[in-house]
Amino acid sequence: MIPYLLCFILFLTGLYGVITRRNLVKIAISLSIMEFSIFLLFALIGYVEGGVAPIVDPADPVKTYVDPLPQAMVLTAIVIGLATTAMLMAVIIRIYRKYGTFDIREIKNLRG
**CA nearest neighbour of 31 among 44, 52, 17, 41:** 17
The closest alpha carbon to 105, from 3, 46, 18, 24, belongs to: 24
Least Cβ distance, residue 10 to another protein (angstroms): 12
Helix axes 2-20, 24-45, angle to 10 degrees: 160
Give CA–CA dist 12/3, Å, rounded.
14
Which of 63, 94, 101, 103 is in the footprint of another protein by CB under 8 A?
94
Q: Select from 18, 25, 29, 66 the one that contacts another protein (CB under 8 A).
A: 18
Sign of the alpha-carbon dihedral angle for 96, 18, 73, 46: positive
Q: Does 12 bind another protein (CB under 8 A)?
A: no
- List the one residue from 1, 2, 5, 55 that touches another protein (CB under 8 A): 55
Residue numbers at the binding site for another protein (CB under 8 A): 18, 24, 27, 31, 34-35, 38, 41-42, 45, 55-56, 58, 61, 69-70, 73, 75-80, 83-84, 86-95, 97-99, 107-110, 112
